[in-house]
Structure 1
Amino acid sequence: MKSIHGAPKLNKPKVVFIMGATGTGKTKLSIDLAIHFQTEIINSDKIQVYKGLDVVTNKVTELERRGVPHHLLGVIDDPDVDFSVHDFCRDALIAIKQITERGCVAIVAGGSNSFIEVLVEDPTLNFRSIYDCCFIWLDVLPPVLNARVSKRVDEMVAGGLIDEVRGIFIPQADYLSGIRRAIGVPEMDRFLRVENHMIDDGIPKEVLLDEAINEIKVNTFELTCRQVEKIRKLIEERGWNIRRIDATGVFECPGKDVEKAWESLVLEPSLAIVGDFLNGQEKAFSTTPDQFPAALPQVRVEMCATN
């Protein structure tokens, strides 16, 4: 029996995971792959699962989706409810089953690596015994990624971040649960309290806003460090066979060359990896600590500590 991709249908359905830190291009890669392999995407970002705050959470737009169906994206109405890892596993398994039963590979993409770890490793789910897994890690070296993150935060501010956070601001907000734990929301609290005349500490609003924006950048830098360290632990401690793709060159290119760099550095190797995986010809590969960039661990620690 043949799948829609022309490859022999093997015993186990197949799932591709696109992993990486915030700002590395996971969304773009997942959409490119989904279009090429005619399939669908399951969001594994625990904040993007909520409706609203599209700018703050950098949620992919309808235009950017290019017609690719997305699951678990903007589906939770209540901003205060906690979407737990168990909720994710339940809903992701349903979506994966639906996609793979149609003869397609399921693509799971997002930055909540702890959610992915539980989905794959929880012994009660038996995920690995049911599905074949392919893991792709899209990585960008820290100095380049931090510059990218800083620019993206500025773009989010220009795109309406402040008004979005104003729209959900309440004095008694719990910033440890629901959508309000998203980076970009708690950092604005002091500025909004002054703006709403709830407090007056003598600091101009403009100064407080600048401080809030800088704090958003710092907290995002620190998030990228945690995300990469989690992937490293999955490789070193869990023994996951994760294919690392270095996308640093994409973000170092001048504007007119970005798309060509993306295709050669990221898309083409990713298509080859997934193509081999779907055809049952995946090459033996294992990312080990000695294959990481030589300065990666220390650089990431330093960037987290100094920003």
Structure 2
Amino acid sequence: MATTIPKEPLVVILGTTGTGKSDLAVDLALKFNGEVINADAMQMYKGLPIITNQLTPEEQKGVPHHLLGTVDPNEPTWNVEVFAREATRIIHEVRRRGKLPIVVGGTHYYIHALLFEDSLISMKGANDDILNHRPQKENITHFPILDGPTDVMFQRLREVDPDTADRWHPEDRRKIRRSLEIFLTTGRRASDIYTEQKQAKALSIQTRRPWQSLMFWVYAEPEGLKERLNKRVDKMYKNGLMDEVKLLHESRRVRSEQGEIVDLTRGVWQSIGYKQMESFLEAEQNETSPNEADQLRLAGLEDIKTATRQYARYQLRWIRHKTIPALKDYEAMDYLFLLDSSNADSFSASVLEPASRICLDFLNGHALAKPTEVSNTAREVLTAYDDDNSPPKVAFKVKTCDLCKVSLQSEDQWQKHIKGRRHYRAVRSKKWTALIPLDSEKES
């Protein structure tokens, strides 16, 4: 693929946790006079390098790192708009110094906001300043219905925003609550806001700038990654994970005693490693027997490993369902290069070396290799994720079968249901009942 020398080059490194993204960022920064901008929400917190898996100063090798260990743990997680604004400002400063900005991280909705100019339009909800900066408990205090039964919330949503209600399954509590929360806190219907966002996004497409971002997806085979992540948790524990966990726990205790409400659903409290150890910490404070406390500690470590693997799967789903479709929309798939880090022993040959060659060609405006030709793994994964031939999604309103008392979320589910045995029996039963005279009981 022929390219031109990018006037505003940007290198972006994404992928699941534990694949070596940060190491690649440092290597490219050293080779191409770059500076690194962190795009991992948890690694932004200072004083907690182990629980958030930050590179040590030695591992940074003198490369300037921005937004790494700079946010106070008592602050809430930056919303996507704040991150995009600050990261963009830093990227401009790095370029003014004649250096290459390299963004790296696993908080993919942060990266999404940087890569795609119109993403904030669709990602930002109605008056997110209200929803993101006011604790959920405060919203519940103002609107008790948000903590009530799902069916009650759903009925209320049907009354105020029937178009949005038609999109959700009657038991999808999270989506129902979010949509109702938008209306209650802003006075506007989510359906109206989404329509405005869609129109604004359509307008922004007309003013898109030429694509000038090179992306590296550091990938590892799931089975091998699982073992690697387990070992990393063990290493974190040996390096002092519990010291940071106890520090957080003590901070929470002090703040609570001072009458402050600590929202455990936001900020650093959501970091993998803290909440999994809460039972153990409580047991220690309550002077539980050493044997029971040790069992809780081991169970906590296993929970950390499980949560880490689940997070890696979530990150992978984001790339597949968000990043890749957006790149196709921008016609920029030729700039996404998958690098196979499955074998840690060949990290240099499989990741660092091809990334350097590709980056050099990109910066010099040379023709780039085809992403599917970088390696067998790249070809297999990228081809598997290429769903250009799949039929377009059709908008579908949730349908409810009154006979069977079930709600279906897709046309496929609906067709399968109405052709199934359960529905057939319900229809047959209704027909049979209809044949029985209403006064049959009196006659008997």
Q: Same fold (TM over 0.5)?
A: yes
CA deviations on 1:249-305 (whole Å, 9 max, x unpaired) are: 22xxxxxxx3xx2221111100011111101124264569993349989xxxxxxxx
Indicate if the aligned counterparts of 2:226 and 2:309 stay in contact, CA closer than 8 A: yes
CA deviations on 1:24-71 (whole Å, 9 max, x unpaired) are: 000100000000011100000011011121111111111111000000
Residue 180 (structure 1) aligned with residue 269 (structure 2):
yes
Q: 1:54 aligns with which of 33, 36, 49?
A: 49
Q: 1:1-307 residue pairs with structure 2 within 5 A?
A: 10=5, 12-123=7-118, 129=209, 132-169=212-249, 170=252, 173-197=262-286, 204-233=292-321, 234-236=323-325, 238-239=327-328, 240-241=332-333, 242-250=336-344, 258=345, 261-283=346-368, 285=370, 291-293=379-381
SS in 1 for 2:44: coil
RMSD: 2.9
The residue identity in structure 2 corresponding to 1:84 is N
Q: Within 2, Cα distance between the matches of 1:131 and 1:97?
A: 16
Q: Within 2, Cα distance between the matches of 1:296 and 1:210?
A: 38
Cα deviation, residue 130, structure 1: 7.2
Indicate if the aligned counterparts of 2:113 and 2:119 stay in contact, CA closer than 8 A: no
Q: Within 2, Cα distance between the matches of 1:28 and 1:20?
A: 13
Q: Within 1, Cα distance between the matches of 2:34 and 2:90?
A: 12
Indicate if the aligned counterparts of 1:235 and 1:287 stay in contact, CA closer than 8 A: no
Q: Which has the higher contact order (CA 8 A, sep 6+)?
A: 1
CA deviations on 1:151-173 (whole Å, 9 max, x unpaired) are: 00000001110111001103555
Indicate if the aligned counterparts of 1:80 and 1:180 stay in contact, CA closer than 8 A: no
Q: Within 1, Cα distance between the matches of 2:290 and 2:238?
A: 26
Indicate if the aligned counterparts of 1:141 and 1:296 stay in contact, CA closer than 8 A: no
Indicate if the aligned counterparts of 1:14 and 1:131 stay in contact, CA closer than 8 A: no
SS in 1 for 2:317: helix
CA deviations on 1:184-238 (whole Å, 9 max, x unpaired) are: 011111111111118x699800110011000000000011111112112211454
- When normalised by structure 1's length, the TM-score is 0.83
Distance 1:182 1:282, change over 3 A: farther
SS in 1 for 2:42: coil
Q: Which has the larger radius of gyration?
A: 2
Q: Within 2, Cα distance between the matches of 1:156 and 1:15?
A: 32
Q: Within 1, Cα distance between the matches of 2:214 and 2:367?
A: 9
Indicate if the aligned counterparts of 1:140 and 1:247 stay in contact, CA closer than 8 A: yes
Which has the larger displacement, 80-89 or 180-189? 80-89
Distance 1:70 1:130, change over 3 A: farther
| Structure with greater helix share of residues | 2
Q: Within 2, Cα distance between the matches of 1:88 and 1:294?
A: 29
Q: Within 2, Cα distance between the matches of 1:201 and 1:17?
A: 49
Cα deviation, residue 175, structure 1: 2.7
SS in 1 for 2:273: coil
Gaps of 5+ in 1: 1-8, 251-257, 298-307
Gaps of 5+ in 2: 121-203, 257-261, 386-444
SS in 2 for 1:58: coil
Distance 1:131 1:96, change over 3 A: farther
Indicate if the aligned counterparts of 1:19 and 1:110 stay in contact, CA closer than 8 A: yes
- When normalised by structure 2's length, the TM-score is 0.58
The residue identity in structure 2 corresponding to 1:37 is F
The residue identity in structure 2 corresponding to 1:270 is A
Indicate if the aligned counterparts of 2:5 and 2:362 stay in contact, CA closer than 8 A: no
The residue identity in structure 1 corresponding to 2:342 is T
Indicate if the aligned counterparts of 2:51 and 2:272 stay in contact, CA closer than 8 A: yes
Indicate if the aligned counterparts of 1:41 and 1:69 stay in contact, CA closer than 8 A: yes
Cα deviation, residue 103, structure 1: 2.4
Q: Within 2, Cα distance between the matches of 1:209 and 1:287?
A: 45
* Count of residue pairs brought into register by the alignment: 279
Q: Within 2, Cα distance between the matches of 1:24 and 1:237?
A: 23
Seq. identity, %: 34
Indicate if the aligned counterparts of 1:16 and 1:107 stay in contact, CA closer than 8 A: yes
